[in-house]
């Protein structure tokens, strides 16, 4: 498992370009981490890849 500092964070494609309400995601072999880009010092929300996949499928309405 990688440390938080080692991860490559990227913004969600649904985050606005003006810096408001941005969510960043970091993918790891055994976890998907989600954080608020405006407060990266907070501990990220962590879920399994299967849980993240189910969530994004549900959220997209597919």
| DSSP-assigned states of every residue in the chain | ---GGGS-EEE-TTS-TTSSS-EEEEE-SS-EEEEETT-TTSPPEEE-HHHHHHHHHHHHT-
Report yes or no on whether pTM surpasses 0.85. no
pLDDT at 47: 96
Q: What's the pLDDT band for 23 if we cut at 50, 70, 90? A: confident
Taking a C-beta distance cutoff of 8 angstroms, is the pair 37, 23 a contact? Answer: yes
Q: Which residues contact 11 (CB under 8 A, 6 or more apart)?
A: 22, 23, 24, 25, 37
For the chain, the residue count is 62
Is a pLDDT exceeding 80 seen at residue 36? yes
């Amino acid at each position: 498992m990688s440390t938080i500092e080692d991860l490559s964070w990227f913004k969600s494609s649904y985050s606005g370009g003006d810096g408001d309400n941005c969510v960043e995601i970091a993918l790891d072999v055994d976890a998907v981490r989600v954080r608020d880009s405006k407060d990266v010092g907070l501990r990220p929300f962590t879920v399994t890849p299967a849980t993240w996949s189910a969530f994004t499928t549900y959220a997209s309405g597919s």
